Structure 1
């Protein structure tokens, strides 16, 4: 027996939590996001901190190479760290937006919270209709994909 999975992301959905709550990797029948939702590998500040550490190690390693460009332009001081973290935080926050996700078809759309019950009901009806295998007109009998407009 198949059971439809409909995921509605209402807040932050990051990393392993995204998997645990039936994110895209678990192939839900439908995945929607509220305008307040955020999605990504990790939050912007956390990602900026991790990437800044990686970048600092790279600069430290390059500075120790006799063949590497250890010029002052390669310096990795507090100002560069702060600028790097700010740029990464802004990038991750922008890309965690539900609008960014939906524009790339990573979900099935951003829905108004007031319409959630109606959208989930329609999604369940569509999913259940499509699973009546062997019936004419069912999704299992179709020989083409389903397109999102």
Structure 2
């Protein structure tokens, strides 16, 4: 799709979940005058290989702020989730107008020290189109 050709790809790197972190919070800010389309992917690295937990698209209108909360710890009946190591990957079209920060937070909304990655700390990833010929 032509819309995604100019995207830039970023990662937090693999982070160790702080003990009181239950959610990953992604804060999105669009400072531009055009809508932005972004995608995030959250991977569980607890077993040494990346397992995709969730992926979603976010549309930001001009001068808009949004929050995305992703649960990484659950307990109770049935399946449980207890991510020890995680990574957030982002696809962003226009990085200069979009600010993305990632926080680890508790169930009560307290930000966990050490699970914060600010937009200037995101690591660029090289994109490779595996569908094209070599």
Q: TM range, normalised to the smaller chain?
A: under 0.3
- TM-score norm. by structure 2 comes to 0.24
* Higher-Rg member (1/2): 1
Question: Structure with the greater relative contact order (CA < 8 A, sep ≥ 6): 1 or 2?
Answer: 2
Which has more helix, going by share of residues? Answer: 1
Choose between structure 1 and 2: higher strand proportion.
Answer: 2
Q: TM-score, normalised by structure 1?
A: 0.22
